[in-house]
Structure 1
Amino acid sequence: MLHGITRHLGAGVAATLLIAAALPVAAQQQNIEKLKQMKVSGTDPNIPTVAQDGKDAAQLRENLKRIKMPPGFKIDLYAVVPDARSIAVAPSTNMLFVGTRKTKVWAVTNRTGGATATEVKEFAPSLKFRNPNAVCWTRDGFLIVVESNRVYTFPAAEFFYEGADVAVGEVVAQGALIPPEEESFNHSGRVCRIGPDNKLYITLGQPFNVQPREKLELYTKTGIGGIVRMNQDGTGREVFATGIRNSVGMDFNPKDKTLWFTDNQTDGMGDDIPLGEINRATQAGQFFGYPYIVADTRITENGYDKDTIPADAVNPQVKTDAHAADLGMAFYVGKQFPAAYQNGFFSAQHGSWNRTKPIGARVLFTSLKADGTADKTEVFAEGWLDDETGIYRGRPVDVAIAKDGSLLVSDDYAGAIYRITYSGQ
């Protein structure tokens, strides 16, 4: 954008603008280098906390009275967390780290071991994150944060989160996750997981509604519109899966180690097509159909419907309602819920923005067959969307399994984390 502006300005003014734009980036990198060396950044160590009571929290609890779930389940407000997106349950403490699509990662602490969090505050405020949607943990306690075009690692984040300065490393430097010229505000929220192979997996949404043909080769090569994996130090990067439009949720089945992921589909084709997808990757190198086909629908934009569908295209395991926006997912690894939930996964639907009658804003559950493929998908929790008025009172983004087996649900619209428990009564 600055290059377009500077064409109409004198050289001196243009140079000033470009220097001004570069200053925040340079200052950010200088701060990162300080933190790598365990030096002080000068940021105020007194980090404000987010109020967990008051009328907003009371209204959130009131809204939850509308949520319908199977008998025996109960939902409550766990924490007020502005813009809450991806959830990473800390491995050793009673904490969550929560990503956003803005500039903050939140540290959510439960110091009493009760039913609600006791403190929510910004994590690493001396860093100014850019769309830190993705948060996940390594097996040895490193927190991974993935921005649109950078990957951070934070050793022992759950033990050294109290102050403004934290130890940090760069797994992937700014501008090296995708080519900088492909950066976009669209489809730029990443998700991450550590796989059974101990590698880091990252989804890379392609930024268009339907990518132009001239982008296909580049995107296939770099993994945009797919999933990439790498060693935890950023080496050994490879493209794991392609043919994906925009995945904002994935998890590994703990039983057979296969990778499952959601995929958000093409807009502008009508209310009821194309259907959403939840896919299963059984090995590296698989192609999942996009942009030639989505579920049962051929993509007409840019003439892809005239092409032959690649013979190796993998069909989705689950087809969901069109435009419901399937986002985060997690296999249920707890023991609190009944046996029927022990062999399957929960997934969140954010809700539609481009449908005549809105749909979504709910949590689904998918059971699996003995061979590890999808069996039945059903609505597990709904009521954030008022069917009569079309008004959203919340939009679920991610799901995560707490240590006690309860289900955590993030909501970026209402700014909250919910907790679903089972008592059987």
Structure 2
Amino acid sequence: MKKHLIALTLIVLAVLGGALFYFSRGDTAQLPDGADVGKEPVFTAPRSEMIPTMNVADAVPWKAGERPVPARGLRVDRFADGLDHPRSLLRLPNGDVLVAETNSPTRPTGGITNRVMNYLMDKAGAGMPSPNRITLLRDADGDGRAETKTAFLTGLNSPYGMALIGDTLYVANTDALMAFPYKEGETRITGKGRKILNLPAQAPNMHWTRSLVASPQGLLYVGVGSNSNIGENDLETEANRAAVLEVNPRTGDYRIYASGLRNPVGLAFEPKSGALWGVVNERDMLGSDLVPDYLTRVEFGAFYGWPWNYWGGYEDRRVQPQRPEVREYTKRPDYALGNHVAPLGLAFADKVTLGAPYANGAFVGLHGSWNRKPAAGYKLVFVPFADNGEAGGETGKAKPVDVLTGFLDAKGEARGRPVDVTADAKGALLVSDDVGNVVWRVTAAK
């Protein structure tokens, strides 16, 4: 019996090793740097992959005193550290900052593919159980460092998005939009939450984050990612997914505000136009040069193509059945951020005071690729906007500007991975880092 177990183990290890070898070869990008960003990115022919390219950076968190590299004229310091997988951020009216310490729900473990994926996620520092907690950070003495760190809200279910309207804090768990009583200045919510709306979380719940933003009119917008790469888990499991939902928090009534958005993670309102914008993670397994993740205005009733096409009409012929007629109704995104860069965080610059180069535009946290060669993302960028609220600056041709780099070191190790961004009470930019377990604070250098 023991010999049979040893033999079976060796077979499993051999299969895993073969799969990992296959993953490690993958597809290499052919486009020059910068060709896949901006309002008019370059598109190659698709290079379909039976299994996605795997190029996962080992997670080797920052040592004491280490930090990312800021752009010239800026400096970066630790606002808070010792956190547990910090993701989304929300600044409260009194200057306190909430951070969701969270991760995906328990992943499937059966089968070779799931085993390999779990191994790679562990390698990337994303394999730990979700803390399911929102933590309050307070810088009472104003020195740029949070000296207070308390468990503000616990017992959640893979929480992500947060929004405050009046005396109610809304939290988007992976499976439900919840409301909790909020009182300014308190360091813990003890009141029981109430469910506003169930959110789709049917297995395998592939994209588990639920972004959240409140409009000036008091409506809530929830970003819900797809349950698959290109609908391969049956389109019936995609109901109310790959979409932004508009929710009336008083009644729980909702509607699909925009659809065809594979994974809309960061949402924010552009201050001059008042338009809703989002960053979207696009599809995989078409090669390292496709498809660009993007920043776009999210318009009511608009369809952005997923899963049948991308970037306003390029057909994805892997999707069955084909729907060529929907190309006519597909809206083209506004601005490409690069192939497989995984944009997660979005904040406009109106409340940030980093100087003239960063006065009008959007900060975007690029979490970094896991399925591209060479690796892409792993940085915080700034996308210039024009005065009329269009991405790309006054000429429309501006490229993203690096704000924080150094998250991926010379060895290809991930010292950190930027996630969300928001302004603090003094106009500094806060950036969560879920590998480094830090919230960074970016200011203008003196």
Asked if residue 215 in structure 1 is aligned to residue 235 in structure 2, the reply is yes
- Please give the alpha-carbon distance, in whole angstroms, between the structure 2 residues aligned to 1:237 and 1:259: 17
1:226-279 CA-to-partner distances (Å, cap 9, x unmatched) read 000111234221110001101111100121111111111111211111111111
- Please give the alpha-carbon distance, in whole angstroms, between the structure 1 residues aligned to 2:321 and 2:332: 17
1:154–1:166 contact (8 Å) kept in structure 2: yes
1:226–1:245 contact (8 Å) kept in structure 2: yes
Partner SS state of residue 86, structure 1? strand
Asked if residue 144 in structure 1 is aligned to residue 170 in structure 2, the reply is yes
- Please give the alpha-carbon distance, in whole angstroms, between the structure 2 residues aligned to 1:119 and 1:210: 44
Asked if residue 134 in structure 1 is aligned to residue 161 in structure 2, the reply is yes
Partner SS state of residue 307, structure 2? coil
1:18-69 CA-to-partner distances (Å, cap 9, x unmatched) read xxxxxxxxxxxxxxxxxxxxxxxxxxxxxxxxxxxxxx9982531x1x5141
Match of 1:20 in 2: none
Asked if residue 384 in structure 1 is aligned to residue 384 in structure 2, the reply is no
Shift of 1:403: 1.5
Between 1:286-295 and 1:205-214, the stretch displaced more is: 205-214
Letter in 2 for 1:104: R
- Please give the alpha-carbon distance, in whole angstroms, between the structure 2 residues aligned to 1:105 and 1:141: 17
Shift of 1:111: 2.5
Match of 1:85 in 2: 87
> 4+ residue stretches of structure 1 with deviation over 6 A?
none
Match of 2:152 in 1: 123
Match of 1:250 in 2: 267
- Please give the alpha-carbon distance, in whole angstroms, between the structure 1 residues aligned to 2:321 and 2:382: 33
2:61–2:436 contact (8 Å) kept in structure 1: no
- Please give the alpha-carbon distance, in whole angstroms, between the structure 2 residues aligned to 1:193 and 1:262: 13
Identical-residue share of aligned pairs (%): 25
- Please give the alpha-carbon distance, in whole angstroms, between the structure 1 residues aligned to 2:259 and 2:298: 10
- 1:17-416 equivalence runs, <5 A: 59-62=63-66, 64=67, 66-69=68-71, 71-80=72-81, 81-101=83-103, 102=130, 103-125=132-154, 128-138=155-165, 140-162=166-188, 165-172=190-197, 176-178=198-200, 182-212=202-232, 214-215=234-235, 219=238, 222-282=239-299, 284-295=300-311, 297-303=314-320, 307-334=324-351, 336-375=353-392, 376=398, 377-386=400-409, 388-416=410-438
Match of 2:395 in 1: none
Q: How many residues align?
A: 352
- Please give the alpha-carbon distance, in whole angstroms, between the structure 2 residues aligned to 1:211 and 1:185: 12
Shift of 1:335: 5.3
- Please give the alpha-carbon distance, in whole angstroms, between the structure 2 residues aligned to 1:192 and 1:315: 23
Letter in 1 for 2:87: R
Match of 1:6 in 2: none
2:210–2:223 contact (8 Å) kept in structure 1: yes
Shift of 1:400: 0.5
- Please give the alpha-carbon distance, in whole angstroms, between the structure 1 residues aligned to 2:186 and 2:192: 8
Letter in 1 for 2:441: R
Partner SS state of residue 311, structure 1? helix
Shift of 1:142: 2.3
2:70–2:76 contact (8 Å) kept in structure 1: no
1:184-228 CA-to-partner distances (Å, cap 9, x unmatched) read 342011110001321011001111011149516x74xx4311000
- Please give the alpha-carbon distance, in whole angstroms, between the structure 1 residues aligned to 2:61 and 2:293: 32
- What 5-or-longer segments of structure 1 have no aligned partner? 1-55
Residues 1:230 and 1:372: Cα distance change in structure 2 (over 3 Å) = same
Residues 1:141 and 1:338: Cα distance change in structure 2 (over 3 Å) = farther
Match of 1:47 in 2: none
CA RMSD of aligned residues (A): 2.3
Shift of 1:156: 1.9
Scaled by the length of structure 2, the TM-score of the pair is 0.74
Partner SS state of residue 77, structure 1? strand
Shift of 1:157: 4.9
- Please give the alpha-carbon distance, in whole angstroms, between the structure 2 residues aligned to 1:147 and 1:87: 14
Shift of 1:348: 0.5
Shift of 1:288: 1.0
1:195–1:252 contact (8 Å) kept in structure 2: yes
Residues 1:98 and 1:112: Cα distance change in structure 2 (over 3 Å) = farther
1:142–1:153 contact (8 Å) kept in structure 2: yes
- What 5-or-longer segments of structure 2 have no aligned partner? 1-59, 104-129, 393-397
Shift of 1:417: 0.4
Shift of 1:383: 1.1
Scaled by the length of structure 1, the TM-score of the pair is 0.77
- Please give the alpha-carbon distance, in whole angstroms, between the structure 2 residues aligned to 1:380 and 1:304: 43
Partner SS state of residue 159, structure 1? coil
